Structure formats: C-alpha cells, structure tokens
Structure 1
Amino acid sequence: MGTRVNMEITASIVLYENDIEELRKAVDSCLASPLIQELYLIDNSRTDRLKQLAQDQRVSYIHNPRNIGFGAAHNVAIGEITSDYHLIINPDICFSPDVIESLAAFMESDHSVGTVMPKILYNGGEIQRLCKLLPSPLNLFGRRFAGKSKWGQALDASYELYDFGYDYVLDVPNLSGCFIFARTSLLKQLGGFDTRYFMYLEDVDLIRRIGQHARTVFYPYVHVYHGYRKESYASGKLMRIHILSAIKYFNKWGWFFDADRKKINKITLDAIAKHK
C-alpha cells in the first residue's frame, strides 16, 4: 500500500486546562509526522497559557472566549480545513510517526472506509477495549450504576465485545473519540460533531452518522497510547453532563426501540463469531 505524495492531512486537539507536559507529547506526536501539514489547537481554557505550545509554523492556535464544549471546538477546525484526511485526538494521546502513514495508506487502499481507529493502549501497554457496540440505555446506565454486579458485568461483556481479540480488521459501529482518523469530505458533509452534546457521547453520535455513509473500521496493525481517565466517575458535575448527554443521544436515536441499532450491532457480532 502507498500514499499519495500530494496528500493533505490535518489534525485538531481541544484543550481545557491541560497538563502542559502531557499535552506536549500529543503535539510533538502530530508534528513528528511529515504527513500532517497543520495542527489546530482549539483552547477552551480560561486563559491562553497553553499558547506556548504553538511554536511550530504548522500549529494554529485558537483561544475561545468561553468553554464551548468538545465537539463544538473541534468543529472550529473542521470548518476551516480543506485536507483529504483529518485527525481528531485527545490531549493525552501519543504515537509514533508511522501510525499516520499506515492509517492513511489503509484509507487510500479502500475508499469505502470513512474512519479508522488503531489499537489504543494504556501507557503501560495494556489494550483499552474501545471497540464497542452501539449502546442501549441498559449499557450506559446499567454499567454506571450496576457495573460491579453480575448483571452489569454481563452487559459490559457484550457491549465491549469481550469475544474480540483486537487482532484483525473489524467494522465496528462505536469507535472511541480519543483518536478519530476520518475523511475530511465526510466530516464536512455531516457538519462535524452535533453540538447539542457539550461533552460525552458526541463521538458515538459522529461515528454512527459516519457509519450511515461509509465503513467505520478498527485497524490493529499500529497502536497509540492513551492516558484515559474516567473523570465522570469521580466528578459529580461531569457525571451530570454525561447523563444529560446520554439522554440527548437516546432522544435522538431511540431508547428501547432502535431497530437500526440492533441490525448494525448484529453485523459486528456475526463478523466476530466467524473468526472463532
């Protein structure tokens, strides 16, 4: 597989009062890839102290006067770009330069793919199980409030695809927003993230909408590192935001009656069953 010489790739990171050294790793990872022509730092922080990371000429720093939310901030970058592919990453991500080259080559080889996610690892090297089914209300509310019960664990086993070994390419309907490598044309067509979500579930919503037009794929042959903190489990304020986003998601897509969810999830489960 090869990539076009004239390919354009952009990237964006949304900032909010981040640890500067952790953020520096994410910025340096993007700048280490010669394929990334421009990196947008969209800052929702109260001050512009993080602007000091925008020293490279490929970095565009934009400070918002208020915290407009995760998806809305990424949409600032999506509204400006004209690239072939766009990378959306969290501030606690780091990766080697070959990751972008491999993902771009994979996308170039199959134009039915709209977005692709590599293997996501904790900093210690363990796999993060971020390939999931489209959630039902039981998945999101059950795992939060009954996650340690046998019932809650059984829900997680299905939702988080415990039968999947993360060792082959798989079409997955729910990929993590911590690392989204997508066709810019699709992001533009869809209008980016749905800004009704301030934070949480906006990635599930976006990947689902991409999935209505193209394949959403897990690609196991390269990996990135992700700090990953379940902050909403420790913060009452973030928990309320998470629950509100879940209500907005199910109001939009359907609560217990969502025929498309069942059909889409079955395709992924059937594909996993064939590999057993």
Structure 2
Amino acid sequence: MAPSPLVSLITINYNTLTDTQQLLESVEKLTYKNIEMIVVDNASKVSPGAALTAKFPWIKFIQSDVNLGFAGGNNLGIKASKGDYVFLVNSDTIVFPDFLEPIVAFMESHPDAGMATPKVLYPDGKTLQYAGAIRINPYTGRGRRLGLLEQDHGQYDKNYKTDLGHGAALIIPRRIIDLVGLMPELYFLYYEEHDWCEMVKRAGFSMYYIGDSKILHTESVSTGNDSPLKTYYLTRNRLIFMRRNFSGIPLLSGMLFFFTVSLPWNILKYTAKGKMTLLKAFLRGVGWNLTHLRLALGVCL
C-alpha cells in the first residue's frame, strides 16, 4: 500500500489566539495522521508563539515581523512547508476528525484537480456558507456562492467542478504551486485566492467542490463587519481582479459599469447613511487603481 501523502496545513494568526487554539484542538483529533501544522503569526499585537508552542508542541510556528496580509502570510507558510499538498485553513475554522481522508482521496484520483474546497458550514453546523461558487462576473466584479444560507439537508453532498474556491479551506497540490507560483500578494486582503484560482485554471487545471467533506467557519473576526479596512480592500481589489483577469470588451464594459453605476451608487449610499468613514475608504480603494495603472496588471509576489 502506498504511503499517505503528506499534507501541510497552514493557518494565519492575527490577533486571533483563541480561534487559533480551537482550530489546533480540532486538528489534534484528525484521523489522517500524515500532516504538518504550520501557524504563521502576522505580527499580532502580542506574539502567540510561546503560548501556542507550549500547548501544541507539534506545530511549526513562524513569526512574521510585519503583517504580510492573507496571501503573504500563507506564502510564508508555504515556503516553509514540505507537504505533497498544501491546505490553507483560516484560524476561525473547526475541522472534523475525518475531513481530510475524502479530500486527499479525491485529489489523488483526479490529476486534473488543481484546487479544491470542502463544504463550508456556519458554526451551527446546519447553515451552508459555501457549496461551490459562480465565477466573478466581468461586469460587476462579483461572484456568487452556491448554497449560501441554505439549510444543509445533504443536497450538496457530492463532488463537482466549480468556478471558485473558498479561502477559508483551500487545498492545492505542491506540483501545481511549483507550476503556477505562489498566491499573488498584491491584494493583501480579499480576492487573492480567487486570482490564484484563475492562475490555476489558466494552467489547464480545474477547481473542485468536495461535498464528501465539511468544515465549520466563522466569518472574519479580525476585520469586522462594515469596517473601513474591509471596504477599502474589497473596493480596491475588486478592480485589481478585473484588470488582471479580464480584457477586451468584458474589461471595458466592467469598468464602464463600475464608474457609471457602482461608483455613484456607493457614494450616494454611504452619504445617505452618514457613513463618511466608509465613503472615504471606498474612494481610497478606487483612487489606488487610478494611481497604480500599471502595477495591478503585473504578477506581484
């Protein structure tokens, strides 16, 4: 019998020590044993290194002196990893003991699989957060998750190709990383895993949803809802993604839609609600693209 492939689980800690500890406690219960667990701290206010390595001495802990963002932090972990597969998991996820076996078995039996994400559930274990996704629309710069907020009755308990993965739980073979490169760090936060997925698909591989496996995920607690940081990066990176992944008429139409519909609509929305801080963040995101017309088009790692 061939040995089980080594899977490198990588998570980013950024002021989320409690979440990270809960994730690691769930990883300890995995029935798939050929793993390495890498925790990258993205310059938290207080380094969790001593606390984590004391409680979980089996992890590989990496301290970054600066906040490298989602892509940069994960890339740091990838560079230090040794696995045949790299599996990115958010610090605010909980994995089930048997979640890895069906994913690894699928990846091993499907050489065309460049990336895959399991079923993602909200913490109640019943409400779906992800069961695949529709590609990002070149006219709006937005995609759509399948199953979002539906109750899980087993209707998505199957495996199939999909357009986009979920950054909270994303597996990619080492050989694919060697081929296409690391996650683009230009984004810093949001859209980077979607761009990486497009890089993999352009190389001739497919993105899969694995309904045979599932994890629990709490939406981001490190950025908060309705935060200026989130507004800035979602706006900035929506435009970066469009510029890097679309061309010709779709890109021109998408930009026309943004500047004639989305831009005035968001200005009116934030102004009417008195959310001037969010309006400033939104406009800064737009402005970044106007002052970096060439940078976003390159592959920036």
Judge same fold: TM > 0.5, yes or no.
yes
Q: 1:256 to 1:16 in 2, by over 3 A?
A: farther
Partner of 2:239: 247
Q: 1:162 to 1:41 in 2, by over 3 A?
A: closer
**Equivalences for 1:28-177 in 2 at 5 Å?**
28-33=25-30, 34-44=32-42, 45-55=44-54, 56-124=56-124, 125-129=126-130, 131-136=132-137, 138-140=139-141, 159-161=144-146, 165-177=155-167
Separation in 2, partners of 1:220, 1:211: 20
Separation in 2, partners of 1:54, 1:139: 44
- Partner SS, residue 196 of structure 1: helix
**Equivalences for 1:192-207 in 2 at 5 Å?**
192-207=182-197
Q: 1:162 to 1:52 in 2, by over 3 A?
A: closer
Separation in 1, partners of 2:147, 2:29: 34
Partner of 1:271: none
Q: How many residues align?
A: 240
Aligned-pair distance for 1:28?
2.1
- Partner SS, residue 187 of structure 2: coil
**Equivalences for 1:223-262 in 2 at 5 Å?**
223-229=214-220, 231=223, 233-254=225-246, 257-258=249-250
Separation in 1, partners of 2:196, 2:73: 14
Q: Deviations over 1:155-199 (max 9, x none)?
A: x7xx33469952332211111111001112212322221011110
- Partner SS, residue 97 of structure 1: coil
Partner of 1:26: 23
Aligned-pair distance for 1:223?
1.1
Q: Which amino acid aligns with 2:240?
A: K
CA contact (8 A) 2:141 2:239 kept: no
Aligned-pair distance for 1:4?
3.8
Q: Deviations over 1:6-52 (max 9, x none)?
A: 4211111011111x332212112223324343111111113313541
Q: 1:228 to 1:191 in 2, by over 3 A?
A: same
CA contact (8 A) 2:118 2:210 kept: yes
Q: Which runs of 5+ in 1 are unaligned?
A: 142-155, 260-276
Q: Which runs of 5+ in 2 are unaligned?
A: 252-301
Separation in 2, partners of 1:62, 1:223: 27
CA contact (8 A) 2:141 2:242 kept: no
Q: CA RMSD in A?
A: 2.5
- Partner SS, residue 86 of structure 2: strand
Separation in 1, partners of 2:237, 2:58: 34
With normalisation by structure 2, the TM-score equals 0.72
Separation in 1, partners of 2:170, 2:134: 17
With normalisation by structure 1, the TM-score equals 0.78
Aligned-pair distance for 1:128?
0.9
Partner of 2:268: none
Q: 1:256 to 1:172 in 2, by over 3 A?
A: farther
Q: 1:206 to 1:186 in 2, by over 3 A?
A: same
Q: 1:170 to 1:179 in 2, by over 3 A?
A: same
CA contact (8 A) 1:232 1:242 kept: no
Aligned-pair distance for 1:137?
5.2
- Partner SS, residue 128 of structure 1: strand
CA contact (8 A) 2:40 2:63 kept: yes
- Partner SS, residue 80 of structure 2: coil
- Partner SS, residue 41 of structure 1: strand
Aligned-pair distance for 1:140?
4.3
Partner of 1:7: 5
Aligned-pair distance for 1:220?
0.8
Aligned-pair distance for 1:106?
1.3
Q: Provide the identity percentage.
A: 18
CA contact (8 A) 1:200 1:242 kept: yes
Q: Deviations over 1:136-162 (max 9, x none)?
A: 255447xxxxxxxxxxxxxx7xx3346
- Partner SS, residue 129 of structure 2: coil
- Partner SS, residue 175 of structure 1: coil
Separation in 2, partners of 1:140, 1:166: 26
